[in-house]
A and B are shown apart, each in its own frame.
Chain A
């Protein structure tokens, strides 16, 4: 016997109502790949578990009028990967979501959960930040939008009001010559948490970078939008000097910690290495679009 309640509402309103009513003792269950681990370890002891996977809006991938996408926060990595168009337009976002854990985890884990877990090392977040994703949030006071980088507040903490639920991510339409990529450094080839993660989204016109965004994970209390790195890339032909400058901007932005997964020195150095490699992949893809 337990005093925990499991709810699987069919509408967002019901979910918000239940979440707000749980007065801080509720947890949203999306893929559950973090929540169940935390419950088992006893670090989280919810009174109400609200399963959002029966809510249509949160489990759908829709194309927006302008050619962008709205991705429900409860869509699993595997579903993202299987979407015929999304991986062509936003390959970096899709590959980032699919680096989260094993095949088994990809069948469950969601970008919404990855963001709301609040870890600076979540793989999908730097890619979403680079993509300029806008997060739709619904709460007791209604709906609002935030850029994805504004959602995390610190490790395990979010800039959300009580009762607010992350509903979806809106990925903008892409001009010609655009693409993105995500790379992370892990000691093994799979099954690790990112020691550094780097997402780059850019647009090329005749070989010149006209727009860029860089997201960096696991090097600070929250995932960073590194504007200095983007500036270094924009206007350049992604030559060695520009890449070096962007890499240094990434290193300068790092405020990492020493822990079991990596050292400060290592993370800082690797942030620059990954920026260059990720930008190269994004540029190569953009050249084909």
Chain B
């Protein structure tokens, strides 16, 4: 069976690639597309390190076939910062909300997706939204605080 040809949009740029029918989006991102910011921690949707958005919705790229990207919009961690870092990225650095950093791209993608939907999340909401992003270093404390502080900053500094 020949490879499939897929036309998609990644981080706002048109992109074409070839893939096998059973190849995951994560494999294609990390392999032929060289977007290694999405990490493979489990390959079964349990750790969230490969989180991306598909048409604006947060998904695990390890649980999506690359073929499904046809005609869709994909965003990865590589597209998060513009000329400047995204406020979440800056806050994570200021607040030491990462240690080894392997979960960080996935956590940031998930947190960004949360703040787009809910600019004023409670601690409870942050914790449950991020429950699919395992972090073994931080105990989550600084991650949750950084997300809430960023939300406050983005709402206009009231905190």
Instruction: Let me know if chains A and B touch directly in the complex, using CB atoms closer than 8 Å.
Output: yes
Structural contact, B1 and A105, CB atoms closer than 8 A? no
Say whether, besides A103-B110, A103-B131, A107-B54, A6 and B3 are in contact (CB < 8 Å). no
Structural contact, B21 and A36, CB atoms closer than 8 A? no
Structural contact, A37 and B20, CB atoms closer than 8 A? no
The stretch that binds A, out of B57-65, B87-95, B143-151, is B57-65
Q: Report A's interface with B, CB cutoff 8 A.
A: 1-6, 8, 29, 31-33, 36-37, 39-40, 46, 49, 51, 53, 78, 101-105, 107-108, 189-191
CA distance A191 to B135 in the complex (A): 14
Q: Number of A-B pairs whose CB atoms are under 8 Å?
A: 100
Rounded to whole Å, the gap between the CB of A202 and the closest CB of chain B is 27
Q: For A103, what are the chain B residues with a Cβ–Cβ distance below 8 Å?
A: 58, 110, 113-114, 129-132
Q: For B60, what are the chain A residues with a Cβ–Cβ distance below 8 Å?
A: 33, 102, 104-105, 108
Structural contact, A78 and B65, CB atoms closer than 8 A? no
**Binary CB contact string for chain B from 41 to 52 against chain A (1 if under 8 A, 0 otherwise):** 001111010010
Q: For B43, what are the chain A residues with a Cβ–Cβ distance below 8 Å?
A: 37, 40
Q: For A104, what are the chain B residues with a Cβ–Cβ distance below 8 Å?
A: 45, 48, 51, 58-60, 63, 110, 132
Q: Report B's interface with A, CB cutoff 8 A.
A: 1, 3-4, 20-24, 43-46, 48, 51, 54, 57-60, 62-65, 67-68, 70, 110, 113-114, 128-133
Q: For A105, what are the chain B residues with a Cβ–Cβ distance below 8 Å?
A: 45, 60, 63, 132
Structural contact, B131 and A36, CB atoms closer than 8 A? no
Q: For A36, what are the chain B residues with a Cβ–Cβ distance below 8 Å?
A: 24, 45, 62-65
Which one of B20, B57, B70, B114 contacts A2 once the chains associate, using CB atoms below 8 Å?
B20
Say whether, besides A4-B1, A5-B1, A102-B48, A107 and B22 are in contact (CB < 8 Å). no
15 additional contacts, CB 8 Å, given A3-B1, A191-B46? A4-B20, A6-B67, A37-B45, A49-B21, A51-B65, A51-B68, A102-B131, A103-B129, A103-B131, A103-B132, A107-B54, A107-B59, A189-B128, A190-B131, A191-B131
Rounded to whole Å, the gap between the CB of A187 and the closest CB of chain B is 13
* Chain A residue, CB-CB nearest to B131: A190
Structural contact, B65 and A29, CB atoms closer than 8 A? yes
Q: For A102, what are the chain B residues with a Cβ–Cβ distance below 8 Å?
A: 45, 48, 60, 131-133
